[in-house]
């Protein structure tokens, strides 16, 4: 193979340069350049002939599936976000803030898999064997099938995987391992890419399920190249309020199941326990009396509808530019809702600070929560209330119209099971006859405000 010259490529955006650059002029990422050799056309042909694979394409109908492609982790919330269990030979990335519980959930998963007779290798690149043993004792994990290997070198890890032949490998974490093939230190973009490549190769060629822990940056995205998320089969984020005991696992990408699926856990000294009825958790701190600035929305997280309380506070600003502070909802979405409230309802918020908070520390990303956010803001601004037994469902368009949402039946059934009596829903959503809840269909934001504000307070609406 005749190597003619080399070029430097940004692993984040693919920008090419003749020499090494510390910062990418295209995407602004640091330390993302890696050297790639270019070969002459003659050299490429020679290489292709040398490694040519004689395997033939197979007809789809002739492909035989193995008996067991999915393995249950025995943790039903974890199975749910995986789309029904771990797929053999898949690569799963679990990322989250420091101390959120990544090692805990994967050690628990490893322990459960061992109980079903699987052999698990836990590669600890961050902690010693005794630290893992201490955690395992605290979590009540005790198995002859669970192997702990404190190691950071990928080549040694690969050798041990080949020798032990485990069913599942847990790598804690991808930022702490390094490959000797790459001259940079562990955690750099090129090291992460190389180590992930090696793990992916192990997973696919040996049909071993690999669970990888990943760190996140200060901004909350996975540390390392974007390509890491493309390479793996499933990306799961560990979210939650560090100051509260519950945690959420959310699938952001899944080649074998639904995305945005949420699994809810509570952190205890003996590990993460599944929360079977999350609505109780999110609504139990709610005041039973209706208060201005509060609305209950039914947000569809993956395949599960969740009832969450949106709270808003509106007050005269002491600053030249009013503040908009949002926790758990997208700030630009709130800006859009505020613009619609000003233009279509005539609510003047230009001199008002607006704070919007999703109770329970969950992130609500669905547009179906728009109407709930708008009503929380509007009721606080006008000092009126939404009936505490009412749930609000609907997406708001720029002209104040309410757009239909998906899975309305599931959402309404969830509201019924949590004891709600009334639902405000989009006009064009059809409600099946068996659903036993008072439904008010609204076409415009103005109709929703008139429909759900309590009559006793409605006079204050003005």
Ligand X SMILES: Nc1ncnc2c1ncn2[C@@H]1O[C@H](COP(=O)(O)OP(=O)(O)OP(=O)(O)O)[C@@H](O)[C@H]1O
Phi-psi region of 77 (alpha: psi -120 to 50; beta: other; left: phi over 0): alpha
269 binds ligand X (CB under 6 A): yes
Nearer to Mg ion, 106 or 312 (CB): 106
98 binds ligand X (CB under 6 A): yes
Minimum distance of Mg ion from residue 126's CB (angstroms): 6
Kindly tell me which residue out of 101, 110, 166, 263 binds ligand X, with binding defined by CB under 6 A. Answer: 101
Token pair listed for 100: 């959120």
Which positions from 107 through 126 interact with ligand X, judged by CB under 6 A?
126
102 binds ligand X (CB under 6 A): yes
Minimum distance of ligand X from residue 164's CB (angstroms): 23
Nearer to ligand X, 102 or 333 (CB): 102
User: Could you count the other beta carbons within 10 Å of the beta carbon of residue 106?
Assistant: 24
Residue count (the chain): 462
d(CA 295, CA 166) in angstroms, rounded, equals 50
How many residues interact with ligand X (rule CB under 6 A)?
12
Q: For residue 93, what is the DSSP state?
A: E
Given Mg ion, ligand X, none, residue 99, with its beta carbon under 5 to 8 Å by kind, binds ligand X
Nearer to ligand X, 103 or 188 (CB): 103
218 binds ligand X (CB under 6 A): no
Please give the C-alpha separations between residue 343 and each of 73, 236, 398, 399, 445, in angstroms, as whole numbers: 51, 39, 9, 8, 11
* 234-239 and 91-96 strand pairing: parallel
**Which one of the spans 58-66, 101-109, 187-195, 235-243 is the region binding Mg ion (CB under 5 A)?**
101-109
What is the per-residue binding string for ligand X in 127-156, x denoting contact by CB under 6 A? -----------x------------------
> b vs e for 236-254, b when ≥16 Cβ sit within 10 Å of the residue's Cβ?
bbbbbeeeeebbbbbbbeb
- Report the alpha-carbon angle 96-280-394, nearest 5: 80
Nearer to ligand X, 250 or 333 (CB): 250
- Name 256's bridge partners: none
How many residues interact with Mg ion (rule CB under 5 A)?
1
Q: Which distant-in-sequence residues (6+ apart) come within 8 Å of 243 by Cβ?
A: none
Nearer to ligand X, 222 or 368 (CB): 222
Nearer to Mg ion, 103 or 300 (CB): 103
Q: Which distant-in-sequence residues (6+ apart) come within 8 Å of 415 by Cβ?
A: 298, 307, 391, 423, 437
The set of long-range contacts for 315-323, using a CB threshold of 8 Å and a minimum separation of 24, is 315/352, 315/353, 316/351, 316/352, 316/353, 317/351, 317/352, 317/353, 319/353, 322/349, 322/350, 322/351, 322/352, 322/353, 322/354, 323/353, 323/354, 323/355
175 binds Mg ion (CB under 5 A): no
Minimum distance of ligand X from residue 211's CB (angstroms): 13
Nearer to Mg ion, 149 or 282 (CB): 149
Asked if 325 contacts 282 with a C-beta cutoff of 8 angstroms, the reply is no
Kindly tell me which residue out of 99, 318, 320, 455 binds ligand X, with binding defined by CB under 6 A. Answer: 99
Minimum distance of ligand X from residue 312's CB (angstroms): 30
Nearer to Mg ion, 94 or 405 (CB): 94
* 246-254 and 234-239 strand pairing: antiparallel
Given ligand X, Mg ion, none, residue 104, with its beta carbon under 5 to 8 Å by kind, binds ligand X
Nearer to ligand X, 1 or 134 (CB): 134
174 binds ligand X (CB under 6 A): no
Given ligand X, Mg ion, none, residue 111, with its beta carbon under 5 to 8 Å by kind, binds none
Minimum distance of ligand X from residue 157's CB (angstroms): 18
103 binds Mg ion (CB under 5 A): yes
d(CA 373, CA 392) in angstroms, rounded, equals 9
Which residues of this chain interact with ligand X, rule CB under 6 A?
A: 96, 98-104, 126, 138, 267, 269
Which residues of this chain interact with Mg ion, rule CB under 5 A?
A: 103
């Amino acid at each position: 193979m005749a190597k003619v010259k080399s070029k430097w490529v940004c692993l984040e955006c693919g920008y090419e340069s003749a020499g090494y650059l510390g910062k990418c002029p295209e995407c602004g990422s640091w330390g993302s350049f890696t050297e790639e050799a270019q070969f002459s056309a003659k050299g490429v042909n020679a290489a292709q002939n040398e490694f040519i694979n004689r395997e033939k394409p197979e007809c789809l109908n002739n492909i035989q599936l193995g008996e067991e492609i999915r393995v249950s982790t025995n943790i039903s919330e974890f199975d749910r976000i995986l789309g029904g269990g771990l797929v053999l030979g898949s690569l799963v990335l679990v990322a989250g803030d420091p101390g959120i519980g990544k090692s805990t959930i994967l050690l628990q998963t490893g322990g459960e898999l061992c109980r079903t007779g699987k052999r698990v290798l836990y590669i600890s690149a961050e902690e010693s064997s005794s630290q893992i043993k201490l955690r395992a004792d605290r979590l009540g994990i005790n198995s002859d099938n669970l192997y702990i290997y404190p190691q950071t070198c990928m080549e040694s890890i690969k050798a041990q995987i080949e020798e032990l032949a485990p069913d599942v490998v847990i790598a804690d974490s991808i930022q702490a391992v390094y490959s000797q093939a790459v001259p940079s230190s562990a955690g750099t973009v090129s090291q992460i890419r190389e180590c992930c490549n090696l793990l992916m190769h192990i997973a696919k060629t040996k049909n071993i399920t690999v669970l990888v822990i990943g760190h996140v940056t200060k901004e909350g995205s996975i540390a390392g190249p974007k390509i890491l998320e493309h390479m793996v089969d499933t990306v799961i984020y560990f979210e939650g309020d560090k100051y509260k005991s519950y945690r959420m696992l959310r699938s952001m990408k899944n080649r074998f199941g639904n995305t945005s699926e949420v699994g809810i856990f509570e952190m205890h000294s003996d590990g993460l326990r599944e929360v079977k009825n999350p609505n109780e958790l999110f609504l139990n701190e709610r005041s039973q009396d209706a208060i201005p600035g509060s609305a209950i929305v039914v947000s569809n997280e993956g395949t599960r509808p969740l009832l969450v309380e949106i709270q808003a506070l509106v007050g005269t600003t002491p600053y030249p530019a009013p503040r908009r502070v949002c926790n758990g909802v997208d700030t630009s979405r709130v800006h859009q809702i505020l613009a619609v409230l000003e233009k279509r309802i005539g609510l003047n918020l230009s001199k008002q600070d607006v704070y919007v908070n999703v109770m329970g520390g969950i992130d609500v990303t669905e547009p179906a929560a728009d109407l709930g956010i708008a009503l929380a803001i509007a009721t606080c601004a006008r000092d009126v209330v939404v009936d505490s037994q009412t749930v609000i469902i609907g997406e708001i368009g720029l002209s104040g119209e309410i757009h239909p949402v998906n899975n309305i039946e599931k959402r309404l059934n969830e509201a019924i099971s949590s004891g709600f009596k009334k639902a405000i829903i989009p006009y064009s959503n059809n409600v099946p006859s068996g659903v036993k809840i008072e439904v008010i269909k609204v076409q415009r934001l103005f109709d929703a405000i008139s429909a759900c504000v309590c009559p006793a307070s409605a006079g204050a609406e003005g």
